[in-house]
A and B are shown apart, each in its own frame.
Chain A
Amino acid sequence: MNAITANELISGAVVYLYENGDFGVDLQLAKLFGADEQDVQEAMLEKTLANPRLVSVEAISVEVSETGTVWANRLREQIRANGPTVGGFERQTLEGADHVSL
């Protein structure tokens, strides 16, 4: 499965495309695209790319565990989703940035 991710322009924060078309920081709320939804994914990706408030737009590969937790497959994406693994720093928030949606 895939999700769509980007960094928000003003804060730089990592965001994901949600079901309702909003972008937010929680991977658990991300809209997931199955293997049979390539077309929808492409269309959404295109729209996201066109949004001037989003940079470094990408589709990333994820899996859903038995308990329903969404996991990014690459370590890089796990770190983007959870913050640095050292130093105890929280992830960047969207504070100071306005609402952003498709």
Chain B
Amino acid sequence: MYRYDEFDAAFVRQRTEQFSHQVKRRLSGELTEDQFRPLRLMNGLYLQLHAYMLRVAVPYGTLNSKQMRKLAHIARTYDRGYGHFTTRQNIQYNWPKLKDVPAILEELASVEMHAIQTSGNCIRNVTTDQFAGAAADEIIDPRPVAEIIRQWSSLHPEFSYLPRKFKIAITGAPQDRAAVKFHDIGLMATQNDAGDIGWRVFVGGGLGRTPMVAKEISDFVAHEYLLPYLEAILRVYNMYGRRDNKYKARIKILVHETGIETIREQVEAEFAEIKDGVLKLPQGELTRITEYFAAPSFEEQEQTKIDIAQFQVTDSAYARFLQNNLHPHSEEGYVSLTISLKPIGGAPGDATDKQMDAVADLAEQYSFDELRVSHEQNLVLPHVAMKDVRAIYDVLVAEGLETGNAGLISDMIACPGLDYCALANARSIPVAQAISEKFANREDEFGELKLKISGCINACGHHHVGHIGILGVEKKGTELYQITLGGDATEDATIGKILGRGVTPEEVPGALEKLLDRYIAERQSPKESFLEAYRRLGDAPFKEALYG
């Protein structure tokens, strides 16, 4: 894992001290709220409905056990004994008090973590595949490049006041698990004809009120030119992105209004100027950073297969866990193991301090001290020997973390919604819980299904790209939920289509049941997933099922 160098450490310490002074000045009345708000937001501190919310970055979703224990400690000491893992591979605390925030930031700094650039019109936390550095299908581990992007984008003086927030996602595998085409910039590893590995660059993707699939701006950028290329994109955006209207300020609108060809010309022109300047990355530097992410010392494993069938009768919950929560690893005898934060009827993404501690212990004991946070709001032990899976499972059972539902309907993404969020129009969590309970006994039958729920059009819960998406709106003072179908966050990126008029909160589970029953009735075989069936059939049968 990357370790802070002296520059990083000094900078985070300095920033923590600075914020601590700013809080003091705010508390003494020296700073007004108008002056203080941008300062606290720059440090990840929001005000929600009931209290402040602190958003802590987990760079490219990677944590070690010491950091996870610190997150647990903060939850226990300064919050209410839990934290919320988000689709942005961050963790959010929902109840910190302003006077405690400087102390929390100090605690975080002691384990090389912070909340900087988790808000505001800057380049946000870089996100990636939760199986990065472990997945069998990976072309290259994206984390060294993600780390380089983190260093480049942290406090970048030119890009601290962009027209709007800017999100970059990166994947090293052809199977996109990081939704790169729904980010301002998406990077996807590729190999050119000469056999060199580099990056396909996508630009102008996003969700929110105008969802867009990113367009390819370059089919190959070599590692050494990646930063100048990104810098060129950011410069073009900084120059031409709209600042007159917040709703039109994201780069997706610029790309849409200007056209990808023109943007490409502008970027290429800028790139030509700076290509061989200071941002060109010497191979030595890439190698140096890559060494931090060297594969752990895997051992040769006797056990190279897990026979799921033998547990199907004796221990069906375990069989289900094996079936759904293990992901193929590049190393023989190893797997990546998903720890679901979606117990049936729970709040998606929440983990208690005790659970975080237990997961930290597991990472230390069984996964070379490595942990990941997934954009699907789960935790991952990336490098687990097959022989250890049972022992891990037993600990998960003791901690209430054993739900074997990864990739199924109850493994949904849901934003905090109106129970917490000041921008919300409707609640997300109770809807998520009702759906999870309703289908608890049927979800295996439905197979792979991505359900995503947002409490307003900002789309933090990715509803546009759910196979089934649910968007909460407010109509005449009450909550109403719009259902979209056919969204897909992977390399086949698709934005879902609204099916028809919205339904009340109570009607949501029943509405989904009608849609899913229709899917079961229409599918060609159990192998045809909901999304495939929808793509084949279009929305007519589903409309009929729901609205008659």
Cβ-defined contact, B97 with A11, below 8 A: yes
CB distance from B9 to the nearest CB of A (A): 30
Cβ-defined contact, A89 with B477, below 8 A: no
Given the complex, which residues of B lie within 8 Å of A73, measured CB to CB? 477
Having A74-B477, A80-B50, A84-B420, one finds 11 other A-B pairs with CB under 8 Å, namely A7-B51, A10-B99, A12-B48, A12-B52, A12-B97, A14-B50, A73-B477, A84-B419, A84-B429, A92-B51, A96-B99
CB distance from B341 to the nearest CB of A (A): 14
Cβ-defined contact, A12 with B50, below 8 A: yes
* CB-CB nearest 10 A-B residue pairs: A12-B51, A84-B419, A92-B51, A12-B52, A52-B29, A86-B429, A55-B33, A80-B49, A11-B97, A92-B50
Which of A7, A9, A85, A91 counts the most B-chain CB atoms under 10 A from its CB?
A9
Given the complex, which residues of B lie within 8 Å of A9, measured CB to CB? 26-27, 33, 98
User: 1/0 per residue B423-448: CB within 8 Å of A?
Assistant: 01001011001000000000000000
Cβ-defined contact, B33 with A76, below 8 A: no
CB distance from B418 to the nearest CB of A (A): 6
* Chain A 10-51 residues near chain B, CB threshold 8 A: 10-14
Give 5 A-B contacts (CB < 8 Å), ordered by A residue.
Answer: A12-B98, A13-B51, A73-B477, A76-B49, A85-B427
Which of B97, B430, B433 counts the most A-chain CB atoms under 10 A from its CB?
B97
CB distance from A6 to the nearest CB of B (A): 10
Whether B18 sits at the interface, judged by CB under 8 Å, is no
Given the complex, which residues of B lie within 8 Å of A91, measured CB to CB? 50
Q: A9-B98, A10-B27, A10-B98 are in contact. Are A87 and B347 (CB under 8 A)?
A: yes
CB distance from B467 to the nearest CB of A (A): 24
CB distance from A61 to the nearest CB of B (A): 10
On chain A, the number of residues with a Cβ less than 8 Å from chain B's Cβ atoms is: 26
* Chain B 78-122 residues near chain A, CB threshold 8 A: 80, 95-99
CB distance from B37 to the nearest CB of A (A): 8
Binding site for B on A (CB under 8 A): 7, 9-14, 52, 55-56, 73-76, 79-80, 83-87, 89, 91-92, 96-97
Task: Say what secondary structure dominates the interface of chain A.
Answer: loop
Given the complex, which residues of A lie within 8 Å of B32, measured CB to CB? 52
CB distance from A96 to the nearest CB of B (A): 6
Nearest residue (CB) in B for A49 is B33
Determine the distance from Cα of A13 to Cα of B51 in the docked complex, in whole angstroms: 5
Given the complex, which residues of A lie within 8 Å of B418, measured CB to CB? 75-76, 79
Given the complex, which residues of B lie within 8 Å of A7, measured CB to CB? 47, 51
Cβ-defined contact, B433 with A14, below 8 A: no
Determine the distance from Cα of A27 to Cα of B479 in the docked complex, in whole angstroms: 23
Whether B262 sits at the interface, judged by CB under 8 Å, is no
Determine the distance from Cα of A12 to Cα of B49 in the docked complex, in whole angstroms: 9
Determine the distance from Cα of A13 to Cα of B48 in the docked complex, in whole angstroms: 10
Whether B478 sits at the interface, judged by CB under 8 Å, is yes
Given the complex, which residues of A lie within 8 Å of B96, measured CB to CB? 12
Q: A10-B27, A10-B97 are in contact. Are A84 and B47 (CB under 8 A)?
A: no
Nearest residue (CB) in A for B100 is A96
Determine the distance from Cα of A7 to Cα of B51 in the docked complex, in whole angstroms: 8
Determine the distance from Cα of A74 to Cα of B49 in the docked complex, in whole angstroms: 13
Cβ-defined contact, A79 with B49, below 8 A: yes
Determine the distance from Cα of A96 to Cα of B101 in the docked complex, in whole angstroms: 13
Cβ-defined contact, A89 with B99, below 8 A: no
Nearest residue (CB) in B for A7 is B47
Given the complex, which residues of B lie within 8 Å of A14, measured CB to CB? 49-50
Determine the distance from Cα of A10 to Cα of B47 in the docked complex, in whole angstroms: 11
Determine the distance from Cα of A37 to Cα of B99 in the docked complex, in whole angstroms: 37
CB distance from B506 to the nearest CB of A (A): 14
Cβ-defined contact, B419 with A79, below 8 A: yes
Cβ-defined contact, B347 with A86, below 8 A: yes
Cβ-defined contact, A13 with B50, below 8 A: yes
Nearest residue (CB) in B for A55 is B33
Determine the distance from Cα of A53 to Cα of B430 in the docked complex, in whole angstroms: 33
Nearest residue (CB) in A for B95 is A92
Given the complex, which residues of A lie within 8 Å of B29, measured CB to CB? 52
Determine the distance from Cα of A25 to Cα of B121 in the docked complex, in whole angstroms: 34
Given the complex, which residues of A lie within 8 Å of B430, measured CB to CB? 85-86
Cβ-defined contact, B419 with A76, below 8 A: no
Given the complex, which residues of B lie within 8 Å of A86, measured CB to CB? 347, 419, 427, 429-430, 433
Q: A79-B418, A86-B419, A96-B99 are in contact. Are A52 and B50 (CB under 8 A)?
A: no
Given the complex, which residues of B lie within 8 Å of A56, measured CB to CB? 47, 422
Nearest residue (CB) in A for B82 is A87
Cβ-defined contact, B50 with A83, below 8 A: yes
Determine the distance from Cα of A33 to Cα of B419 in the docked complex, in whole angstroms: 27
Determine the distance from Cα of A88 to Cα of B477 in the docked complex, in whole angstroms: 24
Q: A12-B50, A85-B419, A85-B430 are in contact. Are A75 and B479 (CB under 8 A)?
A: yes
Cβ-defined contact, A52 with B33, below 8 A: yes
